[in-house]
């Protein structure tokens, strides 16, 4: 029975040490949050980022006016939806003559009809 007070003494020390660690950890977390909060308000404004010039071969050529005109909508038609389709942009066009799905290649400006319904 004499071992029991020794075990309780060790348990009390362990509880005290863990309590101190909890208080220190909470203080560090609260201090970090406050520091980051005030640092974001006092930070100097960042200069605008200059985009690096692309390689000469990476810029697509300017689109000719004919390819832009090919993407015009007929009277009464409207765009019902747009989605990404791999490297193309899928455009769902609805109108009085029916629906159609256009695939637009943004790099070349070429438009093709993928699906049409009367």
pLDDT tens digits for 19-74? 999 999 999 999 999 998 888 777 677 677 666 665 666 555 555 554 444 557 88
Dihedral sign computed on CA atoms, order 60, 102, 81, 97: positive
Let me know: does 116 contact 98? Beta carbons within 8 Å: yes
Is residue 2 domain-resident? yes
The better pLDDT of the pair 89, 46 is held by 89
Tell me which residue has tokens 């747009």.
Answer: 82
Q: Is residue 57 part of a domain?
A: no
Q: Are residues 38 and 71 in the same domain?
A: no
3-class secondary structure for 49-82?
Answer: CCCCCCCHHHCCCCCCHHHHHCCCCCCCCEEEEE
Q: Is residue 95 domain-resident? A: yes
Look up the pTM and report it.
0.40
CA 102 to chain centre: 26
Number of domains present in the structure of the chain:
2
């Amino acid at each position: 029975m004499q071992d029991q007070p020794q075990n309780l003494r060790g348990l009390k020390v362990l509880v005290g040490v863990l309590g101190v660690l909890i208080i220190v950890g909470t203080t560090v977390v609260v201090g970090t949050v406050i520091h980051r909060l005030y640092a974001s308000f006092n930070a100097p404004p960042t200069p605008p980022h200059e985009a690096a010039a692309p390689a000469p071969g990476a810029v697509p050529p300017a689109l000719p006016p004919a390819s832009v005109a090919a993407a015009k909508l007929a009277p009464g038609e409207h765009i019902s939806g747009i989605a990404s389709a791999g490297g193309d942009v899928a455009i769902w066009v609805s109108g009085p003559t029916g629906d159609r799905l256009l695939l637009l290649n943004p790099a070349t400006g070429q438009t093709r009809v993928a699906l049409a319904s009367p």
